[in-house]
Amino acid sequence: MVSIGKVKREFPPPAHFIMEIESYSQLFAKFDDRYQSGVFEAGGYKWRLIFYPNGDKKKNASGHISLYLAIDDANNHRDNNWSIYVNFKFFVQDQNENKYLPIEGLTEVQEAKGVVREFNRMKKEWGCDRLLSLEAFMEPSNGYLVNDCCAFGVEVFVIKSTGCGETLSMVSVEPAESTHTWEIPNFRNLAYAGSQYSESFTVKERKWKIKICPMGDGSEMGRSLALYLILDKEESPQPNRKVYAKFKLRVLDHRRINHSEKQLSHWFTTENSKDSKWGSNEFVPLLDLYDPGCGYLNNDGTLIVHVEFAVVSEVN
């Protein structure tokens, strides 16, 4: 069932075509068939409105107004198998309030922003057999027919494929390129030197760094070693594009007895400093780190940090 939308458009009027009819009573009396509007363009194609003031008799629509959108024969199509998908919506003017009302219910499946139909060589017209009953159309309080004048409009949006898209993959990292080791000599001397960064290294065509805070970070300052993986600032994903990684960070026990390890995952970005790094500010208690019995510092004071990637996202 066709209904008149409750949302009235004050401005702008229908975007692509408005058909204004003056002396409607004469048209109604003389036309027992259809009126075909002039050509208008929308979405790179030529179109017409097909208007039946007394209803489309072939569709048993007497007592109604019928309105259709038709693709014009002047369009040049590449072959006979052409097909065009279009989102369109009809409007009727409420002249009492000078507003355009969308006409809903053009198909059994209603869509809030119009109806999508396929135009092709075999089907060049789509629309509504019973757009409005003549009784409702001629009712003065509705404002559709005022001083023997009326107006209908249409918006036509052609759906064109741009060919753009992407494939997101979670890729397992091969063992040969999954690990990076950072040896930090004389680590005791860095206690008050501030944050330290490894050189950049590449995993799955992305550049990464490791950040270490010898005296801790944030709430754990002075209590625990902080360790983070960073997506290098030289790496530039598209704006708002993030890179996922599942990985392990380790501080190695040179005795190979009790490595300190955390398994982590994160969506990294260079756009936001908060999301450019991920790790822990409670990696190893400083008391354990400097305890010779725990084995984190070898005899010459070297600390060894290790990262192992399991999964990294790829977008193609």
- Domain range enclosing 223: 168-315
The values of phi and psi at residue 286, to 5°, are -60, -30
pLDDT tens digits, the chain, 316 residues: what are they? 454 544 455 557 888 999 999 988 887 777 667 899 999 999 999 999 999 998 999 999 999 999 999 999 888 887 888 999 999 999 999 999 988 888 754 443 344 445 789 999 999 999 999 999 999 999 999 999 999 999 999 999 999 877 788 889 999 999 888 999 999 999 988 877 889 999 999 999 889 999 999 999 999 999 999 999 999 876 555 666 789 999 999 999 988 888 999 999 999 987 666 778 999 999 999 999 999 999 999 988 999 999 999 999 988 8
Instruction: Tell whether pTM > 0.75.
Output: no
**pLDDT attached to residue 106:** 41
- Same-domain pairing of 270 and 188: yes
pLDDT reported for residue 165: 84
Q: Are residues 49 and 141 in the same domain?
A: yes
Are 7 and 142 members of one domain?
yes
Q: Domain holding 311: CATH number?
A: 2.60.210.10
Do residues 21 and 94 share a domain? yes
User: Do residues 10 and 153 both lie within one domain?
Assistant: yes
Q: d(Cα 44, Cα 42) in Å, to the nearest integer?
A: 5
Q: What pLDDT, on a 0 to 100 scale, did the predictor assign at position 108?
A: 37
Tell me, yes or no, whether 123 and 216 share the same domain. no
Q: Work out the number of other CB atoms within 10 angstroms of the CB of residue 121.
A: 12
Q: What is the DSSP letter of 162?
A: -
In DSSP terms, 64 is beta-bridged to 133
Q: What is the pLDDT of residues 170-203, one digit of tens each?
A: 999 998 889 999 999 999 888 778 899 999 999 9
Instruction: Please indicate, yes or no, whether residues 140 and 276 belong to a single structural domain of this protein.
Output: no
Phi-psi region of 105 (alpha: psi -120 to 50; beta: other; left: phi over 0): left
DSSP 217-262: -GGGTTTEEEEEEEE-TT--PSTT--EEEEEEEEE--TTSS--EEE
Spatial separation of the C-alpha atoms in residues 46 and 298, rounded to whole Å = 79
Rounded to 5°, angle at Cα 192 from 188 and 196: 80
Q: Looking at 135, 159, 183, which one is the last position of a domain?
A: 159
Place of tokens 């982590």: 264
Going by C-alpha positions, the residue among 202, 219, 299, 298 that lies closest to residue 253 is 298
